[in-house]
């Protein structure tokens, strides 16, 4: 993942700047324990962060990443704040693989969820900055209807 971040650094900074404002923090987190010595616990500054890290996972493994929160908090208007999101690779892969499913557990752990068999489920909405990034990179196709049409992806409410 660190190699992917370094390879795509300019793309992230140019097209997804809000997610990568603190790219040095993400780079530091991805470098944790690469020296060979792994401590018993991992300090919070090295934790996986959302939304920056799921995009790197999608680009590293060339598959979509569906991110779900363990708790669904509501704001003062009764709207959910922790909306599940789908992150897609910035560069379209040859093979269209099913998403990696990640669940935020408690307040400090991420867990991957393994699906036993292919399921027809509605995947979360695409993380919207990615749509703008793909358009800015010259791909004007609809990510949901054309590029990833093999997945049933929930439509953004305002589109």
Query: Do the domain assignments include residue 158?
Result: no
Query: Do the domain assignments include residue 99?
Result: yes
Query: Do the domain assignments include residue 31?
Result: yes
Residue-number span of the structural domain to which 83 is assigned: 2-147
Beta-bridge partners for 109:
105
Sheet harboring 85-87: ordered strands across?
A: 109-113, 100-105, 65-68, 85-87, 125-126
**Given this model, what pLDDT does residue 3 score?**
93
**Given this model, what pLDDT does residue 4 score?**
93
**Given this model, what pLDDT does residue 60 score?**
94
**Given this model, what pLDDT does residue 50 score?**
78
Counting the structural domains of the chain, the total is: 1
Nearest one of 115, 68, 65 to 93, comparing CA atoms: 65
Residue recorded with tokens 């060979």:
36
Cis peptide before 51 (omega within 30 of 0): yes
Query: Do the domain assignments include residue 154?
Result: no
For the chain (length 159 residues), average pLDDT per consecutive 10? 91 79 81 76 78 89 87 58 83 83 76 75 86 84 85 77
d(CA 114, CA 24): 31
Whether the CB-CB separation of 129 and 19 falls below 8 Å is answered with: yes
**Given this model, what pLDDT does residue 32 score?**
80
**Given this model, what pLDDT does residue 91 score?**
85
Query: Do the domain assignments include residue 71?
Result: yes
Whether the CB-CB separation of 129 and 135 falls below 8 Å is answered with: no
């Amino acid at each position: 993942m660190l190699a992917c971040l370094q390879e795509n650094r300019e793309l992230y900074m140019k097209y997804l700047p809000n997610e990568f404002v603190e790219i040095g923090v993400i780079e530091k987190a991805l470098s944790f324990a690469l020296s060979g010595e792994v401590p018993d616990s991992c300090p919070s500054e090295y934790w996986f962060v959302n939304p920056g890290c799921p995009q790197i996972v999608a680009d590293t493994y060339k598959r979509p990443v569906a991110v779900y929160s363990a708790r669904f908090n509501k704001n003062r208007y009764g709207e959910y704040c922790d909306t599940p999101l789908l992150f897609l690779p910035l560069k379209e892969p040859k093979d269209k693989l099913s998403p990696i499913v990640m669940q935020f557990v408690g307040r400090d752990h991420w867990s991957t969820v393994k699906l036993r068999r292919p399921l027809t489920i509605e995947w979360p909405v695409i993380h919207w900055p990615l749509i703008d990034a793909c358009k800015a990179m010259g791909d004007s196709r609809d990510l949901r209807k054309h590029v990833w049409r093999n997945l049933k992806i929930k439509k953004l409410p305002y589109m």
